[in-house]
Amino acid sequence: MSKLIHELVPPYIRELSPYVPGRPIEEVERELNMHPIKLSSNENPLGPSPLAIGAARKALAESNRYPDGSGFYLRSALAKKHDIPAEHIILGGGSTEIIDLAARMVLVPGDCGVTSYGSFPLYHIAIRATGARYFDVPMRDYHFDLEAIARDLPPETKLIFLANPNNPTGTMFNAGDLDDFLARVSENVLVVLDEAYCDYVDDPNYSRSIDLVRSGRNILVLRTFSKVYGLAGLRIGYGLGAADLLGEMNKIRGPFNTSGVAQAAALAALDDAEHVRRSVESNRAGLAQLTAGLKELGVKFVPSVANFLLVILGGDAESLTAELLESGVIVRPMGWMGFPNAMRVTVGTRDENEKFLQALAKLHKATAHSSAHRVHSPEGDTQGI
Per residue of the chain (385 residues), give pLDDT as tens: 677 777 787 887 788 777 677 666 666 665 666 678 999 999 999 999 999 999 999 999 999 999 999 999 999 999 999 999 999 999 999 999 999 999 999 999 999 999 999 999 999 999 999 999 999 999 999 999 999 999 999 999 999 999 999 999 999 999 999 999 999 999 999 999 999 999 999 999 999 999 999 999 999 999 999 999 999 999 999 999 999 999 999 999 999 999 999 999 999 999 999 999 999 999 999 999 999 999 999 999 999 999 999 999 988 899 999 999 999 999 999 998 889 999 999 999 999 999 999 999 998 776 654 544 444 444 433 334 5
State the number of CA atoms in the 13 A half-sphere of 234 facing the CB: 31
Backbone angles phi, psi at 292, to 5 degrees: -65, -40
Q: Cis ω on the peptide bond leading into residue 48 (within 30° of 0)?
A: no
Give 322: exposed, middle or buried? Use CB within 10 Å, 0-12, 13-18, 19+: exposed
For residue 342, what pLDDT is reported?
97
Buried b / exposed e over 6-45, threshold 16 CB at 10 Å, is eeeeeebeeeeeeeeebbeeeebeeeeeeebbbbbbbbbb
For residue 35, what pLDDT is reported?
77
For residue 18, what pLDDT is reported?
74
Q: Is the CB of residue 152 less than 8 Å from the CB of residue 121?
A: no
For residue 288, what pLDDT is reported?
98
State the number of CA atoms in the 13 A half-sphere of 240 facing the CB: 29
For residue 252, what pLDDT is reported?
95
Q: Where are the beta strands (DSSP E) in the chain?
A: 37-38, 89-92, 112-115, 133-136, 157-163, 190-194, 219-224, 237-240, 300-302, 308-312, 329-330, 332-333, 342-346, 373-377, 380-384
For residue 74, what pLDDT is reported?
98
Q: Is the CB of residue 366 less than 8 Å from the CB of residue 302?
A: no
For residue 32, what pLDDT is reported?
63
For residue 11, what pLDDT is reported?
82
For residue 132, what pLDDT is reported?
98
What does pTM read for this prediction?
A: 0.90
Residue 155: count other Cβ atoms within 10 Å of its Cβ: 6
